[in-house]
Amino acid sequence: MITITRIQFFLFLFTIQTGTVFITFQRPLIETAKSNAWIVLLFAGVLHYLQLIFYEKVYDRFNPGSFIFWLYRGYWF
C-alpha cells in the first residue's frame, strides 16, 4: 500500500493546477475567457487550497488502493 506525504500531495496538486497539465487542459477555457482568464486561475487556486485543507483533515485515513497507486506512479514517471 502506498501512502502519500503532505509534500507529495502538494506537489501533485501544484503541478496539476499551475503546470503544463493545467494550461494544456484548460487552454480552450482560458482562450474563451480572454480578459477574464484571471477568474479561471483564481478559481483553480481556491480549489487547490480547498483540496489541501480537505487532505489535511483526512490525511491519516488516506490510503489509496492499488489502481490509484499505479495511476499516481504512472503520472510521475
Digit-coded pLDDT (tens) for 14-44: 777 666 665 666 677 778 888 887 887 788 7
Give the three cell numbers for residue 17: 493546477
Higher local confidence (pLDDT), 25 or 47: 47
* Extents of the domains making up the chain: 10-76
| pLDDT band, residue 48 (cuts 50/70/90) | confident
Question: What pTM value is reported for the model?
Answer: 0.49
Mean pLDDT calculated for residue range 72-77: 74
| pLDDT band, residue 5 (cuts 50/70/90) | confident
Measured between alpha carbons, how far is residue 71 from residues 5, 28, 60, 67, 77 in Å? 16, 25, 21, 6, 10
